[in-house]
Chain A
């Protein structure tokens, strides 16, 4: 542990001690999380056993790791001091120790979060420091990395660890800055007006070539009545050129949108209209100012209808949207995961082929590796793998899309059944890379069901069965025809065998086949090349998890799982599998 950490520890101890003695229990309280994770895994497959020289130019792999172990313990202590309603100061101190590490070698201590918040004059709520922000799906929205709404508990627990480590709380972005909001009630004409504004810094200047980058925005929310609600949003990402000596890239993006919801409720039936529309203006100037690299301005609109049968919570919806090919909204289009691997090496078997080639993440990594997530808003669309999401890789705000979406959902997680299905029939507005101007057409179906079997059987202990599917088909005619299919299937089972002790199991299967041309972009967000998936592309991934979970309380559990991941890549005629033992004790207080 370095001197800074030691100093922090001393200061914090003094502060805690002082606070404990001087403050009463009502103004200082603690919360936090403790977690221990242990994994042991092995790698096998023909990627290790066969001589791949003819395929890769490398000799037979004799040096890549076949087995590994990993694990750590973390303790996040949240200290909250609230002397009055107007002020609360909180900090989350993290102590982390990698298994096998000792004091000074492996143990780290950092502040995971620092925040001040409160209410001014009982009217204005404010937050300063590390804040979590979300607006609308077209302005500021951290879209899920893939469809997993009905995956097994075994996978959901693992994914929640990664989400926590990367501050993926719902669809919020973790940012650093200030946020304030207030609302005003009226007695006539309008029920309530809410207003919110924030300002954050998403990048710190390096003082030389990379200036400070700010993200700020505001939302005006008018609740006219229980029938009608409208909102206006503006968000801007802007470089402060004078914060760097020699700015190479000067970025300026503004997105303005308007949204509304009209609801008409009757006794058992509710009918509604929803929508959002807006436009973006984008400006990127290079250092030498030879040309504006801006994609200019563009717009989108998204409007829908729904009808809901209240007693059974059955909802039928339909919508149409068009998102322009130059519509640019970094806060909504930034991906939360690096499909090709993040800037840090994989935690699990990082390289193959004699340590020469980084292993591309598979489903197991996407679910379990804490290093793959992108936690900062990017100005250029990140590359993606179409097998995981080809229709909306950049969320609802994915550019160059227009078409219909239909949805049917019913039930609730607390009832016997919860189920839903969504159908997306969209296409491109303009062709990509092909001069015959043929457009892609996308057909997507996703949905699933969760059945609380114990309610049907009137069994006192919990038996939950879940299943989900996401299927996408991409087609295009013409000289550069495309036919690409991918599916992800989920199945899960949780059985409470004795009180609070569950048997858990889950299976996830991905298959993708066909040809595609996936765009890659430069720092100016221009398409500069296409990564061709040739016709013989086929990939299958199977992920099986089984084990137990003991629930000490609602937020504290221990789980032991065996995980088996089998992956086949037909194009390269390579396969490998990973078997893993996973132990996790988590306590939230």
Chain B
């Protein structure tokens, strides 16, 4: 190859490179990310004040302190019984009630909620410093995330239902358990002390336990709980508010504990009452109903009830193939239509949150006849966003 060709080619490449690089720009910024500031060696902090005791049903916990230098600080609240943790990190030379971490509403960052009556250590630490400010306070009433929040609805009063009452068939008006478990006489689904199962409850001290082997012929269904707004068969209203019309904004949230044995699946079902649509004119095709169910709904049928032969059932499955607690938030619009015609697969096929007549969680064994062990806590429905206990 001629030297001239190489030189010309290289020169062309260099020219193009120069033009391209010259034309390239990047946005100017002072520095990347949020600022942090290490504490100097002569750093000191003082004047810690914390609301004690604190009642989160009526107020918030205020934290103030002053520092000798502008510094990155972290305010950490740790429940000495629950293991709950909440922390805030900010930069400043003083912590005031209006500053980051200066006002705590009782929320938590991780899994566990702070409990009523427990002691909480409040600590302020500083980036790369041994200096600590700390104080132990008492929570007289823990925060109830649902109270005052129109976008959260508890199932059966959420944990107030089974923190104080047994959840057994017929014993609880709007939430009842049904069992196909062989573990007799222990009910398959019961409110039990979390500590008896070697775990911490998410909220309070009790959890709902599902355990046992299926007593059904196919060996799958172990049991579940069902929630209705009113007593079954009565002229009650629907579960969700009439303003919750957007299925993509409705979330079913629940904490599930798995022991890693991979033998259980939690099936979530939302049962609508399509018969009671705004015009009260929806019926599944009669031929279909007769074929699948042998009956025609309508006569004597409560319009607020779900008829599995003519109404929609929307389902989602959560394989419990993990160890420990996990928070699941399932969007109503993501749920699938029941594939069973006589069990919720014959409705109008439209997700209508305001037509939800009952909500059901069932545990099935996988594979059949395997022993399933699942704990659940704090089932709650939210509108607009998944449930976030840190807010």
Q: How far is the CB of B121 from chain A (nearest CB, A)?
A: 10
Q: Please tell me if the beta carbons of A437 and B128 are within 8 angstroms of each other in the complex.
A: no
Q: Give the docked Cα–Cα distance between A517 and B33 (Å).
A: 11
Q: Please tell me if the beta carbons of B21 and A325 are within 8 angstroms of each other in the complex.
A: no
Residue of B nearest to A264 (CB): B6
Residue of B nearest to A534 (CB): B128
Q: How far is the CB of B265 from chain A (nearest CB, A)?
A: 14
Q: How far is the CB of B326 from chain A (nearest CB, A)?
A: 10
Q: Please tell me if the beta carbons of A433 and B33 are within 8 angstroms of each other in the complex.
A: yes
Within 8 A of A (CB), among B26-48: 26-27, 29-38, 40
**Chain A CB within 8 A of B340 CB:** no
Known contacts: A350-B260, A350-B323. The answer to whether A277 contacts B31 by CB under 8 A is: no
**Chain B CB within 8 A of A345 CB:** yes
Q: Please tell me if the beta carbons of B36 and A530 are within 8 angstroms of each other in the complex.
A: yes
Residue of B nearest to A105 (CB): B367
**Chain B CB within 8 A of A411 CB:** no
- Which A residues are CB-close (under 8 A) to B34? 433, 527-530
Q: Please tell me if the beta carbons of A430 and B31 are within 8 angstroms of each other in the complex.
A: yes
Interface size class for chain A? 35 or more
Mark each residue of chain B from 1 to 40: 1 if its CB lies under 8 Å from any CB of chain A, else 0: 1000110011001001100110011110111111111101
Within 8 A of A (CB), among B226-284: 248, 259-260
Q: Please tell me if the beta carbons of B31 and A432 are within 8 angstroms of each other in the complex.
A: yes
Q: How far is the CB of A479 from chain B (nearest CB, A)?
A: 6
- Which A residues are CB-close (under 8 A) to B83? 57-58
Residue of B nearest to A189 (CB): B5
- Which A residues are CB-close (under 8 A) to B30? 435, 437
**Chain A CB within 8 A of B333 CB:** yes
- Which B residues are CB-close (under 8 A) to A517? 36
Q: Please tell me if the beta carbons of A355 and B31 are within 8 angstroms of each other in the complex.
A: no
Q: Please tell me if the beta carbons of B323 and A351 are within 8 angstroms of each other in the complex.
A: yes
Q: Please tell me if the beta carbons of B248 and A246 are within 8 angstroms of each other in the complex.
A: yes
Q: How far is the CB of A205 from chain B (nearest CB, A)?
A: 13
Residue of A nearest to B81 (CB): A57
Q: How far is the CB of A538 from chain B (nearest CB, A)?
A: 15
**Chain A CB within 8 A of B334 CB:** yes
Q: Please tell me if the beta carbons of A435 and B21 are within 8 angstroms of each other in the complex.
A: no
Stretch at the interface among A170-178, A291-299, A568-576: A291-299
Q: Give the docked Cα–Cα distance between A81 and B106 (Å).
A: 65
**Chain A CB within 8 A of B301 CB:** no
Q: How far is the CB of B364 from chain A (nearest CB, A)?
A: 14
Q: Give the docked Cα–Cα distance between A258 and B200 (Å).
A: 58
Mark each residue of chain A from 526 to 555: 1 if its CB lies under 8 Å from any CB of chain B, else 0: 111110101100000000000000000000
**Chain B CB within 8 A of A416 CB:** no
Residue of B nearest to A529 (CB): B34
**Chain B CB within 8 A of A129 CB:** no
Q: How far is the CB of A58 from chain B (nearest CB, A)?
A: 7
From A206, A297, A350, A351, B24 is in contact (CB under 8 Å) with A297
Q: Please tell me if the beta carbons of B24 and A298 are within 8 angstroms of each other in the complex.
A: yes
Q: Please tell me if the beta carbons of A297 and B324 are within 8 angstroms of each other in the complex.
A: no
**Chain A CB within 8 A of B78 CB:** yes
From A278, A299, A481, B26 is in contact (CB under 8 Å) with A299
**Chain B CB within 8 A of A262 CB:** yes
Q: Give the docked Cα–Cα distance between A354 and B325 (Å).
A: 12
Q: Give the docked Cα–Cα distance between A246 and B322 (Å).
A: 31
**Chain A CB within 8 A of B185 CB:** no
Q: Give the docked Cα–Cα distance between A425 and B16 (Å).
A: 28
Pick the most buried of B33, B78, B331: most chain A CB atoms within 10 A of its CB: B33
**Chain B CB within 8 A of A225 CB:** yes
Q: Give the docked Cα–Cα distance between A90 and B324 (Å).
A: 41
Q: Please tell me if the beta carbons of B322 and A345 are within 8 angstroms of each other in the complex.
A: yes
- Which B residues are CB-close (under 8 A) to A350? 260, 323
Q: Please tell me if the beta carbons of B1 and A225 are within 8 angstroms of each other in the complex.
A: yes
Tell me what chain A mostly uses at the interface: helix, strand, loop, or mixed. Answer: loop
Q: How far is the CB of B76 from chain A (nearest CB, A)?
A: 11
From A62, A230, A435, B13 is in contact (CB under 8 Å) with A230
Q: Please tell me if the beta carbons of B37 and A298 are within 8 angstroms of each other in the complex.
A: no
Pick the most buried of B31, B85, B333: most chain A CB atoms within 10 A of its CB: B31
Q: Please tell me if the beta carbons of A208 and B33 are within 8 angstroms of each other in the complex.
A: no
Q: How far is the CB of A202 from chain B (nearest CB, A)?
A: 21
Q: Please tell me if the beta carbons of A57 and B78 are within 8 angstroms of each other in the complex.
A: yes
Known contacts: A105-B367, A277-B17, A430-B29. The answer to whether A356 contacts B35 by CB under 8 A is: no
Q: Give the docked Cα–Cα distance between A529 and B27 (Å).
A: 21
Q: Give the docked Cα–Cα distance between A104 and B89 (Å).
A: 51
Q: Please tell me if the beta carbons of B198 and A433 are within 8 angstroms of each other in the complex.
A: no
Q: Give the docked Cα–Cα distance between A479 and B129 (Å).
A: 13
Q: Please tell me if the beta carbons of B33 and A432 are within 8 angstroms of each other in the complex.
A: yes
Q: Give the docked Cα–Cα distance between A480 and B31 (Å).
A: 13
Q: How far is the CB of B29 from chain A (nearest CB, A)?
A: 7
- Which B residues are CB-close (under 8 A) to A480? 36-38
Q: Give the docked Cα–Cα distance between A479 and B127 (Å).
A: 11
Q: Please tell me if the beta carbons of B323 and A208 are within 8 angstroms of each other in the complex.
A: no
From A301, A354, A430, B198 is in contact (CB under 8 Å) with A354
Q: Please tell me if the beta carbons of B26 and A298 are within 8 angstroms of each other in the complex.
A: yes
**Chain B CB within 8 A of A577 CB:** no
Q: How far is the CB of A513 from chain B (nearest CB, A)?
A: 15
**Chain B CB within 8 A of A400 CB:** yes
Mark each residue of chain A from 340 to 352: 1 if its CB lies under 8 Å from any CB of chain B, else 0: 0000010000110
**Chain B CB within 8 A of A324 CB:** yes
Q: How far is the CB of A93 from chain B (nearest CB, A)?
A: 23
Q: Give the docked Cα–Cα distance between A356 and B85 (Å).
A: 14
Q: Give the docked Cα–Cα distance between A277 and B22 (Å).
A: 12
From A57, A227, A430, B32 is in contact (CB under 8 Å) with A430
Q: Please tell me if the beta carbons of B13 and A104 are within 8 angstroms of each other in the complex.
A: no
Q: Give the docked Cα–Cα distance between A277 and B331 (Å).
A: 45
- Which A residues are CB-close (under 8 A) to B33? 432-433, 519, 526-530
Q: Please tell me if the beta carbons of B26 and A324 are within 8 angstroms of each other in the complex.
A: yes
- Which A residues are CB-close (under 8 A) to B323? 345, 350-351, 355
Q: Give the docked Cα–Cα distance between A332 and B9 (Å).
A: 29
Q: How far is the CB of A328 from chain B (nearest CB, A)?
A: 11
Mark each residue of chain A from 224 to 262: 1 if its CB lies under 8 Å from any CB of chain B, else 0: 110110100000000000000010000000000010101
- Which B residues are CB-close (under 8 A) to A484? none
Pick the most buried of B32, B35, B37, B333: most chain A CB atoms within 10 A of its CB: B32
Residue of A nearest to B24 (CB): A299
Residue of A nearest to B72 (CB): A532
Within 8 A of A (CB), among B328-347: 331, 333-334
Known contacts: A57-B78, A228-B9, A432-B33. The answer to whether A208 contacts B334 by CB under 8 A is: yes
Q: Please tell me if the beta carbons of B26 and A296 are within 8 angstroms of each other in the complex.
A: yes
**Chain B CB within 8 A of A63 CB:** yes
Q: Give the docked Cα–Cα distance between A553 and B115 (Å).
A: 64
Q: Give the docked Cα–Cα distance between A27 and B285 (Å).
A: 54
Q: Please tell me if the beta carbons of A532 and B32 are within 8 angstroms of each other in the complex.
A: no
| 6 tightest A-B CB contacts, nearest first | A527-B33, A299-B24, A298-B26, A431-B31, A57-B83, A433-B33
- Give 29 pairs: A residue, B residue, CB < 8 Å, sorted on A: A62-B198, A189-B5, A228-B6, A246-B248, A258-B16, A258-B17, A262-B10, A279-B24, A297-B24, A298-B27, A299-B26, A324-B26, A325-B32, A326-B26, A345-B323, A355-B259, A355-B324, A356-B200, A356-B324, A358-B324, A400-B32, A430-B32, A431-B32, A433-B35, A435-B30, A480-B38, A517-B36, A526-B33, A530-B36
A258-B16, A297-B26, A400-B32 given; name 11 further pairs at CB < 8 Å.
A209-B248, A225-B6, A246-B248, A262-B10, A277-B20, A298-B26, A527-B34, A530-B33, A530-B34, A532-B36, A532-B127
